[in-house]
């Protein structure tokens, strides 16, 4: 059974940093691209960043480019999102997602989500 478990969320002041983790199990982690998707309270879904299975290729939404860094540790089946210079508009539930097989992107399975609140 595929399981994705996010951690590391919480309350942070504007300009602060936070690192999210997503621990995966139930599939061969290195084989699949992974994506972070966020959802502001009461709003729709926005893809934030994606990383290839090897970790050699990454992409970012314009809204987070230069502030967020996605990475993965395939030896520990863990995905990360380092979030720097956080803004109020980054407040959201953050989900990690496992890619579909083949070239079909996000997301076959999702974690339960973790809330990040940026506020003073």
Partner 1 sequence: DIQMTQSPSSLSASEGDRVTITCRASQNIVNYLNWYQQKPGKAPKLLIYVASSLQSGVPPRFSGSGSGTDFTLTISGLQAGDFATYYCQQSYSFPWTFGQGTKVEIK
Give the footprint of partner 1 on this chain (CB under 8 A). Answer: 35, 37, 44-47, 50, 59, 61-62, 95, 100, 104-113
6 or 80: CB nearest partner 1: 6
Task: Tell me how far, at minimum, the Cβ of 110 lies from partner 1, in Å.
Answer: 4
Task: Tell me how far, at minimum, the Cβ of 45 lies from partner 1, in Å.
Answer: 4
Task: Tell me how far, at minimum, the Cβ of 56 lies from partner 1, in Å.
Answer: 15
Task: Tell me how far, at minimum, the Cβ of 18 lies from partner 1, in Å.
Answer: 20
Q: Is 34 left (phi over 0), alpha (psi -120 to 50) or beta?
A: beta
Q: What is the DSSP secondary-structure string of 29-53?
A: GGGS-EEEEEE-TTS--EEEEEE-S
14 or 26: CB nearest partner 1: 26
19 or 108: CB nearest partner 1: 108
Burial category of 64 from C-beta neighbours within 10 Å (exposed 0-12, middle 13-18, buried 19 and up): buried
For the chain, state the CA radius of gyration.
13
88 or 104: CB nearest partner 1: 104
Q: Which of 115, 100, 104 is CA-nearest to residue 38?
A: 115
């Amino acid at each position: 059974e595929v399981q994705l478990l996010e951690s590391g969320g919480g309350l942070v002041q504007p300009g602060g940093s936070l690192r999210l983790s997503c621990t995966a199990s139930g599939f061969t982690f290195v084989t699949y691209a992974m994506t972070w998707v966020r959802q502001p309270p009461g709003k729709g879904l926005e893809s934030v960043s994606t990383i290839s299975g090897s970790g050699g290729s990454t992409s970012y939404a314009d809204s987070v480019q230069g502030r967020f860094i996605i990475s993965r540790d395939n030896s520990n089946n863990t995905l990360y999102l380092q979030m720097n210079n956080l803004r109020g508009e980054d407040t959201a539930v953050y989900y990690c997602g496992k890619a579909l097989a083949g070239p079909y992107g996000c997301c076959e399975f999702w974690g339960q989500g973790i809330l990040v609140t940026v506020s003073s």
